[in-house]
Amino acid sequence: SQQGEEDPQALSIQEGENATMNCSYKTSINNLQWYRQNSGRGLVHLILIRSNEREKHSGRLRVTLDTSKKSSSLLITASRAADTASYFCATDANDYKLSFGAGTTVTVRA
């Protein structure tokens, strides 16, 4: 299975702190994507990193990809209450579909 698996399952941090979550996957990928989901709502695309990229930034988000370890990390810097959500990694093996992990639930305390 391609599925990404996130770690930790849940994370609780104070506003202003950084949040780091990890994703591991099993086979070769074309790219890896991170999504956010607020409770019971839709999936919001955050960032895409291609297999030939090692690091990517978007605002307060930093994503790394290590294809030799088949792992990725998502760092949210200077967290805010509005960052409270579930975060999912999804792998694209160029086979017309995304394989999602179970997600990390992030709670940012004010």
Partner 1 sequence: EPEVTQTPSHQVTQMGQEVILRCVPISNHLYFYWYRQILGQKVEFLVSFYNNEISEKSEIFDDQFSVERPDGSNFTLKIRSTKLEDSAMYFCASSVGQGIGYTFGSGTRLTVV
Residue 101 contacts partner 1 per CB under 8 A: yes
Residue 92 contacts partner 1 per CB under 8 A: yes
Name the one residue in this structure whose structure tokens are 């070769």. 28
Question: Of 11, 49, 63, 98, which one interacts with partner 1 (CB under 8 A)?
Answer: 98
Residue 94 contacts partner 1 per CB under 8 A: yes
Whichever of 44 and 78 has its CB closer to partner 1, that residue is: 44
Query: What is 52-95 written as a DSSP string?
Result: T-SEEEETTEEEEEETTTTEEEEEE-S--GGG-EEEEEEEE-SS
Residue 107 contacts partner 1 per CB under 8 A: no
Contacts of 21 (CB under 8 A, 6+ apart): 6, 7, 8, 11, 73, 74, 87, 104, 106
Contacts of 84 (CB under 8 A, 6+ apart): 38, 106, 107, 108
Which DSSP category does 8 fall into?
-
Whichever of 46 and 79 has its CB closer to partner 1, that residue is: 46
Q: Interface mask (CB under 8 A) for partner 1, residues 11-50, using x and -?
A: -------------------xx-x-x----xxxxxx--x-x
Residues at the contact surface with partner 1, assessed by CB under 8 A: 3, 30-31, 33, 35, 40-45, 48, 50, 88, 90, 92, 94-103
